[in-house]
Chain A
Amino acid sequence: MTIATTSGGAQGGSALERGGGGGGGGTLADVVETVLDKGVVIDAQVSVAVVGIQLLEINARIVIASVETYLRFAEAVDRMSITPKNQKGLPDLVGDAAGAATKGKAISGLGKAAQEISGAVADSLSNRGTDEERERPRRRRDGERR
């Protein structure tokens, strides 16, 4: 299985990173985001047998629209070079020729990446079940049922 970490960029030419699944390969941030506040709620309203336990405070939520966010974006602009790369706003100076060249390049790059991707998928699907044997329940076969 292809395991992605947050530290690396897109690996192996694929535009898609794989992670999680069987709890493997996911970062703590992934785990927190995946499981917190999800799942069937069984609370005291439903069953008096539910015991209140102390949960460590986990702050997974962030405030998205705030002055801090605005200032952070502005700072990012400030950090960027005066002429951002791929400047699409550049008036027609660049012209059609350059545009065509860029296009051609993108297409050939895409073909190559596509091949690598299909390899990565086959790999991750066929490996399932062999690398995740640990720590999971199995299902009894019919013969074992009673």
Chain B
Amino acid sequence: MTDQAELGLFIYGIVPSDVEPTPDAAGVGDPPGEVEAVRQGDLAALVSEVGLEQPMGRPADLTAYQTLLDGTAAVAPVLPVRFGTVVTGPDAVQDLLSAHHDRFAEALDELEDTFQYTVHGRYDEQELISEILAENPDAAQLAEQVRGRPELESREARIRLGEIISQSVELRREAENKQLVDAVGGYARHTAPRQPSSELDAVNVAFLVGAADEDEFVAAVEEFAEQRRDLIRMRLLGPLAPYDFVSAHQLVE
């Protein structure tokens, strides 16, 4: 990148104006940009300079973005701004903050002392299929036709078997997600279902949890996981910035 390269400001998130980036906070880009706060009244945006000709979205960029936002969320409320949002300069950031001041301020108030936790579970394929074959005679029969036979000869049976399993997983997933929300949602302020990210996904739900309820929430998730330990590989991601709890259309009038 030359010194003449055109620069823009990459926006990470919106925070109260008393948030101060630490000097070593690393931004997106190569080399990593220096993260600064652009303030406007009681709001600020965390930003760093980026060269406009540099494609954005390398793994390191995504990780830097999440690291910064999660780190911020640990100490102050933050509204994540969608990855890849770049504006022309500090003036544009200030215009943006003043134009939507009330909405941003209100959202930050609601997010004070909260964190996102994402509960993501995947079925153990063997356990899952064993259970499905055990409870579904049609599937068990098809399994007999399929086993040990070349795919070309048994293709039709394979597709029917796979479809039964797939539908069964979908029903289980729906039930599992509901049970998760029933079991742990009481410790969360808000719940946001997430799209499954693989065909073996069992649960995938984001929760917005108040700091005071964190221990109880985690304990409840652990109990939920314990009850399904052979069937589902359960993971708890967090505390995170509230990625799933800022409306995607917040700014569209």
Binding site for B on A (CB under 8 A): 4, 9-10, 14-24, 26, 28-43, 45-47, 49-51, 53-58, 60-62, 64-65, 67, 69-78, 80, 82, 84-89, 110, 113-114, 117-118, 121, 125, 128-129, 132, 134-140, 145
CA of A35 to CA of B85 in the docked complex: distance in angstroms? Answer: 13
Give every chain B residue within 8 A of A21 (Cβ-Cβ). Answer: 70, 237-240
Contact among A17, A49, A71, A140 for B162, CB-based, below 8 A? A71
Q: How far is the CB of B48 from chain A (nearest CB, A)?
A: 12
**19 A–B contacts, CB within 8 A, in A order:** A35-B83, A40-B14, A46-B96, A53-B55, A64-B166, A70-B163, A70-B165, A77-B161, A77-B165, A84-B126, A89-B134, A117-B226, A125-B214, A128-B74, A135-B25, A137-B15, A137-B75, A138-B22, A139-B20
When A and B form their complex, which 4 residue pairs have the shortest distance between CB atoms, in order from nearest? A136-B71, A70-B162, A23-B67, A49-B92
Interchain CB contact under 8 A, A51 and B87: yes
Also in contact, A89 and B135, with CB within 8 A (given A37-B82, A53-B86, A135-B25):
yes
Cα A113 to Cα B251 in complex, Å, equals 47
Q: Are B63 and A80 in contact (CB under 8 A)?
A: no
Across the interface, B87 reaches (CB within 8 A) one of A22, A23, A34, A50, namely: A50
CB-based A-B contact count at 8 angstroms: 316
Is the CB–CB distance between B130 and A20 below 8 Å? Answer: no
A77-B246 contact, Cβ under 8 Å, with A38-B82, A42-B11: no
Tell me if A20 and B215 are in contact (CB < 8 A): no
Q: A56-B57, A56-B58, A88-B134 are in contact. List 14 more A-B contacts (CB 8 A).
A: A35-B69, A43-B251, A47-B92, A47-B96, A47-B99, A49-B89, A50-B92, A64-B199, A73-B162, A76-B126, A87-B130, A87-B134, A121-B215, A135-B71
B22/A135 in contact, CB under 8 A? yes
**Residue B21, interface by CB 8 Å:** yes
Alpha-carbon gap, A21 to B46, bound state (A): 19
Q: Which of the residues B26, B95, B151 comes within 8 Å of A47, measured between beta carbons?
A: B95
User: Nearest chain B CB to A15's CB is how many angstroms away?
Assistant: 4
Chain A interface, DSSP helix/strand/loop, else mixed: loop
Cα distance A22–B71 in the bound complex, in angstroms = 5
How distant is the Cα of A22 from the Cα of B238 in the complex, in angstroms? 8
CB-based contact B159/A70 at 8 Å: yes
Cα of A26 to Cα of B215 in the assembled complex, Å: 21
Asked if A39 and B80 sit within 8 Å, CB to CB, the answer is yes
Q: Does B68 contact A (CB under 8 A)?
A: yes
Q: Assess whether B1 is interfacial by the CB under 8 Å rule.
A: no
Q: Is the CB of B225 within 8 A of A137?
A: no
Q: Is the CB of A50 within 8 A of B162?
A: no
B119: shortest Cβ distance to chain A, in Å? Answer: 9
* Interface pair B70/A10, CB less than 8 Å apart: no
Complex contact A77–B146 (CB within 8 A): yes
The residues of B that contact A87 with a CB separation of less than 8 Å are 130, 134
Complex: how many Å from CA A22 to CA B237?
10
Is B33 an interface residue when CB atoms closer than 8 A count as contact? Answer: no
Question: Beyond A40-B250, A139-B75, A140-B20, is A31–B162 a contact (Cβ under 8 Å)?
Answer: no
Complex partner residue of B166 from A73, A128, A134, CB under 8 angstroms: A73
Residue contact A18 to B159, C-beta cutoff 8 Å: no
Nearest chain A CB to B58's CB is how many angstroms away?
7
Contact with A36, one of B83, B129, B240 (Cβ below 8 angstroms) = B83
Q: A24 vs B81: C-alpha distance in the bound complex, in angstroms?
A: 20
By a CB distance below 8 angstroms, the chain A residues around B243 are: 34-35, 38-39
Asked if B226 and A110 make an inter-chain contact with CB atoms under 8 angstroms apart, the answer reads yes
